[in-house]
Chain A
């Protein structure tokens, strides 16, 4: 399936992009994160996940569907 990945803050530097379309073979957010952490050095950066603009709890694994938008959100820094 195809998902849109959105990266913010420090993750933009580490991953090298703000947004990408990704073809994935995994079915859940925790499998997707596992795959990302194998490809990129992101383990030292704290972040929260949002799927289709809804924040996901730290211990929660959400089933992904084709066309989902997955955002990786490090701590906010507005103001």
Chain B
């Protein structure tokens, strides 16, 4: 089982290291990366200052493994990685990182979009949007 969940924000060092680790995989000709960033949404005049992510980890890991297997059967990939934050992530910080690698560029665009959508739709992750005044609402995916 690949580790997906990371406590806290996903740092630019972590993302950079992930790219560097692929230099030895010389069959790869194209990488594509999706980064989800916490947005300061405005609701009734108040701004979101952070999102606190939680998940049902046992079921989430099963679903993520299914998505992984399906991605490899649907697209001609060399490798793929999914990382999602748990805990408190401030606005402007990265909470979701999908990294797809293939021989050629065409596959990575469609695979990245498919994987991002599947993770959002099928993985039991929850986000509590916390406002500047510490009130909150539960994030709803559009």
Query: How many angstroms from the CA of A76 to the CA of B138 in the assembled complex?
Result: 10
Contact-residue bracket for chain B: 20 to 34
Chain A contacts with B in 48-69, Cβ cutoff 8 A: 50, 53, 55
B127 touches A50 (CB 8 A): no
Q: Which residues of chain A in 28-73 are interfacial with respect to chain B, using CB atoms and an 8 Å cutoff?
A: 50, 53, 55, 71, 73
Tell me how many residue pairs across A and B have CB atoms closer than 8 Å: 61
* Chain A, interface residues (CB within 8 Å), range: 10 to 19
Q: State whether the Cβ of B139 lies closer than 8 Å to any Cβ in chain A.
A: yes
Partner of B56, one of A10, A13, A71: A71
B binding-site residues for A, Cβ under 8 Å: 36, 53-56, 58-59, 62, 84, 95-96, 116, 119-127, 138-141
List of A residues within 8 angstroms of B121 by Cβ:
76
B58 contact set on A, CB distance < 8 A: 53
Tell me which residues across on chain B come within 8 A of A74, comparing CB atoms.
126, 138
